[in-house]
Structure 1
Amino acid sequence: MQLAPGVHRLGDDRVAFLLVVVDDGITLVDAGLPGHRRDLRRALRELGRSEADVRGIVLTHGDSDHIGFAEALRTERGVPVYVHTADARRTRGDDAPPPTARPAWRLPAALAFVATAIAKGGRTRRVGEVREVVDGDVLPLPGSPVVVGMPGHSPGSIAVHLPAHRVVAVGDALTTRHVLTGHAHPQLAPFTDDLAAAEASLDRLAAIDADVVVPGHGPAWLGTPRDLVAAVRA
């Protein structure tokens, strides 16, 4: 799905990641599940590009359904993987996510998410080496992604702002469709480490000037971050 010129969402409403395509190369925002690499290759072929054009992967955080094929591209293609300093240990597998409150769930939605995990699954490999970033960094990658710190879902959760494309990817800082209940409205994501911090981070998202907001789970929001934050808080 093309969200803006040069910005494509791959995956689906259950698990999604971004492909940012410019003349001098490609940036990925997140890496889905391991099996999503097939979707990546298919999309690249359709665009007349290949994995050799990928210059870097920017992770919104270090959870397994966002780092899927990142280590494969790093080791096989030399693609650098960027993640916030506060999530570096989680991404490498040095630290496990802390326990969180058990989220609500409904059987049809939960089964659909499990089906996606199986279909796009395989062994998720932790990322052996990462390049650490912090809030405010402008990365030397196609699209010049800007790091916006969004702690809460995890300590190092970030939004990735693509100013030239007027798109911002938010990972699990929020969701527009709960993966376990199917409730289709803007809300904080399940399995969040610190709900109070995640809610406070929404102020940072609301200040971003963009026309499209892309969560890691749920449909893209075709509107401003400010309006999306208002919908979460309504």
Structure 2
Amino acid sequence: MDLVEVIPERLHMFRFPIGQAYLWRESGEPDAELTLIDAGNKDAAPDIEAAIRSLGLRPQNIRRIVLTHCHRDHVGAAQELADRYGAEIVAHRLDAPVIRGDRPVPEPVLLDWERPLYAHGLTVPPAPPTRVDREAEDGDLLDFGGGAQVVHSPGHTDGSIAVHLPEYGVLFTGDCVAGVGQVMLGVFNTDRERALASFRRLAALAPATVCFGHGDPLTADAAAVLRASADRDSGLQVEHD
């Protein structure tokens, strides 16, 4: 796993072989309260803990784990970490039953070029059934980052969310948007048209820093790049239709 600084003393990314997660810290102090955005695969907990300690921080200060959606490379280590440190697990109401193991993971409608990528993604071990302590809704405020806003962004899954920190200009997109090679609509969507509408909604937030579920964070001209990418992908969808 690679540890990548996104915003000094505030935000770091944990990059796994497939997928990534983010660590938000409330201050530059060693005892700062910590929030995880996603939790990697089911074997990621030791690497996440080691990375947190390498920053001079304490995993015991993880207060919450926000899951952007129900997929195995985002949910995997959430309950292990939450049980160990008493953290709250937050997810959208519509994905919560899948995360808990009460409903199957929804099947995506794959484009032909997505099929080999999807098969590769399934090499990540399945996530164990994971509790959800808080079922979030669109517009809910979470107690970190100066008031983190839950933005329902369905299409990848029904309960996909983004997390927006207006005070800091930071947007976590989950898998609605990807930054692999170029900024683009994320892959493996259950409803591509809804995903595109969500992409446009996220672009309208005009963030200064964009953190994707896959791909390098966007920190330069982020608002303009995100909007142009949303317009481009929406145009491609219209041409395809």
Q: In the alignment, residue 23 of structure 2 is paired with which amino acid?
A: L
Looking at structure 2, the residues matched to 142 and 174 of structure 1 have their Cα atoms a distance apart, in angstroms, of: 21
SS at match of 2:184: coil
Q: CA deviation at 1:232?
A: 4.0
- TM-score scaled by length of structure 2: 0.82
Q: Which segment drifts farther, 193-202 or 36-45?
A: 36-45
Q: 1:7 aligns with which of 11, 18, 23?
A: 11
SS at match of 1:86: coil
1:224 maps to: 222
Q: 1:52 aligns with which of 60, 69, 75?
A: 60
Q: How many residues align?
A: 222
* Contact 1:55 1:79 survives alignment (8 Å): yes
Q: 1:20 aligns with which of 11, 14, 24?
A: 24
1:92 maps to: 100
Equivalences for residues 61-210 of structure 1 within 5 A: 61-103=69-111, 104-105=113-114, 117=124, 121=125, 124-141=127-144, 144-177=147-180, 184-210=181-207
* Contact 2:26 2:144 survives alignment (8 Å): no
SS at match of 2:200: helix
* Contact 1:159 1:171 survives alignment (8 Å): yes
Q: CA deviation at 1:138?
A: 1.2
Q: CA deviation at 1:201?
A: 1.1
* Contact 1:26 1:142 survives alignment (8 Å): no
Q: In the alignment, residue 133 of structure 1 is paired with which amino acid?
A: A
Q: CA deviation at 1:106?
A: 8.5
- Structure 2, unmatched stretches of 5+, are 233-241
Q: Which segment drifts farther, 146-155 or 163-172?
A: 163-172
Q: Percent identity at matched positions?
A: 32
Looking at structure 1, the residues matched to 74 and 228 of structure 2 have their Cα atoms a distance apart, in angstroms, of: 26
RMSD: 2.3
Q: CA deviation at 1:221?
A: 1.8
Q: Taking structure 1 as reference, are residues 79 and 202 closer, same or farther at Cα in structure 2, changes over 3 Å only?
A: same
Q: CA deviation at 1:233?
A: 3.4
Q: How big is each residue's C-alpha offset from its partner over 1:113-157, in whole Å with a ceiling of 9 and x where there is no partner?
A: 577x3xxx5x62121233111111111235532111111111111
- Structure 1, unmatched stretches of 5+, are 178-183
